[in-house]
């Protein structure tokens, strides 16, 4: 158990329980199919995770669970749809941080307030985010890529404006004097296709999103985020090892499961219990391992609330530095 996890558990112990099970409410939920909104196109990290959990939840809860991809506006369109839904546990949101955290600094007319209009259900800790280039690129080490970007503009793919990938490019330009020009995509899948084809010179995204191209030998990872090397790519150094210690290079991100605000406590407790059980199953453990995450179990609602309060201001401040506004 990491120090971060221990700290979350200690903080969570001081919070009241999410709620006792109420048999009459439990019997009533779920009473119809559950919809999980993913505010990005199919094929990205959040989508892959959501589909694994949907399979388990359908079996555990006895109702169909449908994944509904609703991309647009840095993920805020689909997220706002969930915020406006009835708080009855039949509409959930599965997203990375960009749509609900960084968007607070990026979206000119935010259609909802993630701090007050969403219930935090579970956080699934990301593993490393790799920076990769085409296998045909003349860069064997990340230092060579950085040196090239100091001399001339280099295109840098991200899976969305305001994403961790975007912030990483910005921080490299700021810290290393590089000229990385960001190219934003609507999700990871088209981004990695363009990296593999040499249409964009480098990009940052998830390991599972990159994996098909890595297996084909069409991309080459050069560095990863967080302070720990990836179990799947132990020979790839972290940015911290190279000397980049800014939070965007070292902090561990997460994907979140949310529900509309005012979700009944008994539904939240049952949903959290099911998600925790799902995390123990072989398919979801394999999915988690593919991300290289060090924290196996998702954060509970109480832990997630503490994480939200502690990290959201940091991520929002980093996003604000980008000085980007999304209409």
Residue 206 in this model has a pLDDT that exceeds 90? no
The per-residue pLDDT for range 143-158, each reduced to its tens digit, is 999 999 999 999 999 9
Delimiting residues of CATH 3.40.190.150 domain(s) in the chain: 3-125+253-321
pLDDT of 162 reads 78
pLDDT of 165 reads 92
231: which 2 tokens?
Answer: 């179990």
pLDDT, mean over the chain: 88
Residue 4 in this model has a pLDDT that exceeds 70? no
Residues in the chain: 327
The per-residue pLDDT for range 94-140, each reduced to its tens digit, is 998 889 998 899 888 899 999 999 999 999 987 789 999 999 999 99
Helix axes 164-176, 301-321, angle to 10 degrees: 40
Delimiting residues of CATH 3.40.190.10 domain(s) in the chain: 130-250
Pairing of strands 65-69, 130-134: unpaired
Residue 310 in this model has a pLDDT that exceeds 50? yes
Query: Does 250 or 287 have the greater pLDDT score?
Result: 250
CA distances from 79 to 89, 125, 187, 269, 274 (A): 15, 19, 15, 22, 22
Task: Give the span between the Cα atoms of 18 and 224, in whole angstroms.
Answer: 36
The per-residue pLDDT for range 51-70, each reduced to its tens digit, is 999 999 999 999 999 999 99
% of residues, the chain, pLDDT over 90? 63
User: In this predicted structure, which of 41-50, 75-84, 254-263 has the lowest mean pLDDT?
Assistant: 41-50
150: which 2 tokens?
Answer: 């100091």
Task: Give the span between the Cα atoms of 55 and 112, in whole angstroms.
Answer: 29
53: which 2 tokens?
Answer: 């959990």
Task: Give the span between the Cα atoms of 103 and 324, in whole angstroms.
Answer: 10
- Asked whether 123 and 299 are in contact (CB, 8 A), the reply is yes
Residue 215 in this model has a pLDDT that exceeds 90? yes
**Nearest Cα to Cα of residue 291 among 202, 228, 235, 201:** 228
CATH class for the domain made up of 3-125+253-321: alpha beta
Task: Give the span between the Cα atoms of 143 and 155, in whole angstroms.
Answer: 16
Q: What is the DSSP letter of 238?
A: B
The per-residue pLDDT for range 244-274, each reduced to its tens digit, is 999 899 988 889 999 999 999 999 999 999 9
Residue 22 in this model has a pLDDT that exceeds 70? no
Count other Cβ atoms within 10 Å, centred on residue 207: 25
Residues in CB range of 220: below 8 A, 6 or more apart: 132, 133, 134, 135, 137, 139, 140
The second-level CATH assignment, the architecture, of 130-250 is 3-Layer(aba) Sandwich (3.40)
């Amino acid at each position: 158990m990491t120090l971060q996890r221990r700290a979350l558990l200690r903080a969570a112990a001081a919070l009241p329980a999410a709620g006792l099970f109420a048999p009459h409410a439990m019997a009533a939920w779920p009473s119809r199919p559950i919809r999980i909104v993913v505010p990005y196109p199919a094929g990205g990290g959040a989508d892959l995770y959501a589909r694994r959990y949907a399979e388990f939840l359908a079996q555990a809860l006895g109702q169909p669970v449908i994944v509904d991809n609703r991309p647009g506006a840095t993920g805020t369109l689909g997220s706002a749809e969930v915020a406006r839904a009835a708080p009855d546990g039949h509409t959930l949101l599965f997203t990375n941080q960009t749509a609900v955290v960084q968007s607070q600094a990026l979206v000119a007319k935010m259609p909802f307030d993630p701090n007050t209009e969403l219930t935090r259900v579970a956080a699934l800790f990301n593993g490393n985010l790799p920076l990769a280039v085409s296998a045909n690129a003349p860069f064997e080490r990340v230092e060579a890529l950085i040196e090239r970007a100091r001399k001339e503009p280099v295109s840098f793919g991200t899976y969305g404006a305001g994403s961790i990938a975007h912030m990483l490019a910005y921080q490299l330009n700021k810290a290393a004097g590089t000229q990385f020009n960001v190219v934003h995509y609507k999700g990871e899948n088209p981004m990695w296709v363009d990296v593999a084809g040499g249409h964009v010179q480098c990009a940052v995204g998830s390991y599972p999103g990159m994996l098909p191209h890595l297996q084909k030998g069409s991309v080459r990872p050069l560095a990863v985020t967080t302070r720990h090397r990836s179990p799947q790519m132990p020979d790839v150094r972290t940015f911290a090892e190279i000397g980049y210690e800014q939070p965007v290079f070292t902090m561990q991100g997460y994907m979140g499961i949310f529900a509309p605000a005012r979700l009944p406590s008994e539904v939240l407790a049952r949903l959290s219990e099911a998600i925790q059980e799902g995390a123990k199953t072989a398919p979801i453990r394999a999915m988690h391992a593919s991300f290289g995450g060090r924290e196996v179990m998702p954060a509970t609602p109480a832990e997630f609330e503490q994480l939200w309060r502690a990290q959201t201001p940091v991520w929002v401040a980093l996003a604000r530095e980008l000085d980007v506004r999304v209409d």
